[in-house]
Amino acid sequence: MDVEKVERKEVEVDDDGRVRTGTVWTATTHAITAVIGSGVLALPWSVAQMGWVLGPIALIGCAYITYYTAVLLSDCYRTPDPVHGKRNHTYMDVVRSCLGPRDVVVCGLAQYCILWGTMVGYTITTATSIMAVVRTDCRHHRGHDAACASSGTMYMVVFGLVEIVLSQFPSLEKLTLISVVAAVMSCTYSFVGLFLSAAKLVSNHGARGTLLGVKIGAAAGVSASTKTWHSLQALGNIAFAYTYSMLLIEIQDTVKSPPSENVTMKRASFYGIGVTTIFYVSLGCIGYAAFGNAAPGNVLTGFDEPFWLVDVANVAVVIHLVGAYQVYAQPIFACYEKWLGARWPNSAFFHHEYAVRLPGGGGSRAARFTMCKLVVRTAFVAATTVVSLMLPFFNAVLGLLGAIAFWPLTVYFPVTMYIAQAKVVAPGSRKWVALQALNAGALVVSLLAAVGSVADMVQRLGHVTIFQTQL
């Protein structure tokens, strides 16, 4: 009898018929995996564009805005009551419940474009990290001035094949182990980049950099327009580096209760964004102090020795992106599979489940899938890989997508939905004015960052070779 009670407790079913096992710690690992990406390695360059005054302000300011809006969004997981209301399983479900169907289209376009764009960017970044390992080893054995160029085409294809296999996992809840490993890897390469930067700073016997960042003039080789575009792009990079609101609801939907899901998710957001901010501010500022205005776009490319440690960091980047790719991909899979299943409710292609027994489980363990998941997910990942191969400059496009998505997904929708759900923010009140000021400020940041990203993208268009990715 006691055994039966324990088993019943372990498989407790929620009010919507699902079994959730997520905790504050699993949600935190998902959040860290989603927020801390390879973009952390570009933060010294971003700080260099703005200098010692605006760089740290941008890093801390974006962190606070991201956490504050995450708290608002956590209360919208259930509507109309944040504790006992109806569950919203996706970000778009929250928009539909709080604002109505007309806002869902805009939200969906912004959310899924940025999710898919990040997948493309991760594919390219993985290839460049592997290429960096090859180049570092080559220079170690042949000399630091040796020509060690290589192409990333094969690495992208291999990465795509790995993601096709991982894409067959049923949902985000089944990826907890991958997220844990990915979170550990993100900490690893962040620590290595921080350690190498700190070591260089000590060897320089003093901090480098200027109050306003990269200087304008013939001696510096930077024109006023380039300085402006790069500063705006750096602002967009920092803002996008903190963005994870479009995944928050999906992560919150994996959390069990009690305590209530919004309480758990607020704690997870605090821990996740807190760890992220520590890494971002430390690496951005120490990296800038070490390199000054000559900070490289990827801080790891500024080091050749110790080659093995640089290799460890780049391998950690690859492992992290393998897991982070799926954190971004699973919401897309869930969205179109739900629509297809509802569109053809009697089709075996979408609903009939196949099981393949796995070794080592005595026949009880099996991999379960539908033909829709097997075929469509494979085709989707393959198409993403092909686009990555065709557009090796897509990081600039990704910066543009990030600049466009920062305002609606991170600020506008969370703030507007909170106002609609809370019904305690009276128009014209101090809190209402503050929230609308936050909305307007974020819109200005997104527009300026978009302008800078477009200018950089136009410059890159003249130096692109399709199907050939170079460091």
Q: Omega of the bond prior to 82 within 30 degrees of 0, cis?
A: no
HEC profile of 280-305: HHHHHHHHHHHHHHHCCCCHHHHCCC
C-alpha dihedral, 290 to 296 to 298 to 302, nearest 10°: -60
- The helix or strand, by DSSP H or E, that contains position 78, with its residue range, turns out to be strand 78-79
Average model confidence (pLDDT) across the chain: 78
Residue with tokens 């807190």: 274
Contact 440, 98 (CB under 8 A): no
Determine the straight-line distance between the first and last CA of the chain, rounded to whole angstroms.
64
Exposed e or buried b per residue across 375-384, where buried means at least 16 C-beta atoms within 10 angstroms of its C-beta: ebbbebbeeb
Tokens of 242: 């903190």
For 316-347, how does the pLDDT look when each residue is reduced to its tens digit (9 = 90+)? 888 888 877 887 788 788 878 787 777 877 77
Judge whether residue 36 has pLDDT over 80: no
296 and 53 Cβ atoms separated by less than 8 Å? no
Closest CA to 64 of 250, 269, 235: 269
C-alpha to C-alpha distance for 285 and 46, rounded to whole angstroms: 10
Q: What pLDDT, on a 0 to 100 scale, did the predictor assign at position 208?
A: 84
Q: What pLDDT was estimated at residue 352?
A: 65
State which H helix or E strand residue 354 sits in.
strand 353-357
Give 23's DSSP letter: -
273 neighbors 70 (Cβ within 8 angstroms)? yes
Prior bond of 306 cis (ω within 30°):
yes
Structure tokens at 399: 């910066």
Q: Where are the alpha helices (DSSP H) in 394-429?
A: 394-405, 413-422
pLDDT tens digits along 400-458: 766 777 888 888 888 888 888 766 666 777 888 888 888 888 888 888 888 887 777 77
- Distance, in Å, from the CA atom of 372 to the CA atom of 119, rounded to the nearest integer, reads 21
Dihedral (C-alpha) 303, 305, 307, 311: value to the nearest 10 degrees?
A: -30
Tell me: pLDDT of 3 over 50: no
Task: Record the pTM.
Answer: 0.75
Distance, in Å, from the CA atom of 261 to the CA atom of 100, rounded to the nearest integer, reads: 23
Counting residues of the chain whose pLDDT is more than 70, the rounded percentage is 80
